[in-house]
Amino acid sequence: MAVQHDVVWQNFAVTSSDRAKLLRQAPFVLWFTGLSGAGKTTLANLVAKRLHDLRYHAYVLDGDNLRQGLNRDLGFTVADRQENVRRMAEVASLIHDSGLIALAACISPFATEREFARSLLPPGRFVEVFVDAPLELCEQRDNKGLYRRARAGEIADFTGIDSPFERPANPELVMDTGRLTPAECTDAIMEYLVEKDLVVADWTRTRQ
């Protein structure tokens, strides 16, 4: 990537901290990673609803949704999937900077891209959630037929079939969706956020 020497970072009067104070919350990023069909989007959606019910301001970034807009120019080669994750990480960082909570649901199979996403956030504000499920279970859940097409050779470089998924070495959370229900996973994630003071358990504030 070419370095643009004439591009200068602009600082503004209203800071990320100012926006967070106005929203009365601590912004952070929940990054859901795992195989296709593991349950990433399901958990991101459930956690977002729980946060909304507690009057937190959050936004879900879903890999499929971004591919219909921002990332629609990308295919599924290794390079394109890496760029897909890079863009999602940058958007998650911008959401965090706005004072909001970002919930990113993306296979993000490679450790380097996930570490890049982490590097964009202050310490403690990036929570990696490894949504762990056996490949066989993910294939059973595959209502889009992607695994069947990959095994038939119709889709190349498909994660879990002919392209690797690098399991996170030290994620903040591991959600075994083959053993735990979505509700149990959601409870566990919320308990972690409370424990880390990212969310207040008994928040009873009301909007003025």
Catalytic positions: 108
What's the pLDDT score for residue 97? 95
Distance of CA 168 to the CA centre of its chain: 13
- CB of 130 closer than 8 Å to CB of 168: yes
Res. 46: pLDDT tops 70: yes
Question: CA 52, 53, 54 angle in degrees (round to 5)?
Answer: 90
Handedness of CA 137, 139, 140, 143 (dihedral sign): positive
Res. 159: pLDDT tops 80: yes
Share of the chain above pLDDT 90, in %: 71
What's the pLDDT score for residue 55? 93
What's the pLDDT score for residue 207? 38
DSSP letters of 162-206? TB-----SS-SEEEETTTS-HHHHHHHHHHHHHHTTSS-TT----
Q: What is the pLDDT of residues 117-130, one digit of tens each?
A: 999 999 999 999 99
Share of the chain above pLDDT 70, in %: 95
- CB of 109 closer than 8 Å to CB of 159: yes
Please state, in angstroms and rounded to a whole number, the distance separating the CA atoms of residues 27 and 151. Answer: 41
What's the rounded mean pLDDT across residues 25-48? 96
Structural domains of the chain, with CATH? 20-195 (3.40.50.300)
State if pTM tops 0.85: yes
Res. 83: pLDDT tops 60: yes
- CB of 199 closer than 8 Å to CB of 186: no
What's the rounded mean pLDDT across residues 36-59? 96
Q: What are the E-state strand segments in the chain?
A: 29-33, 58-62, 101-105, 126-132, 173-176
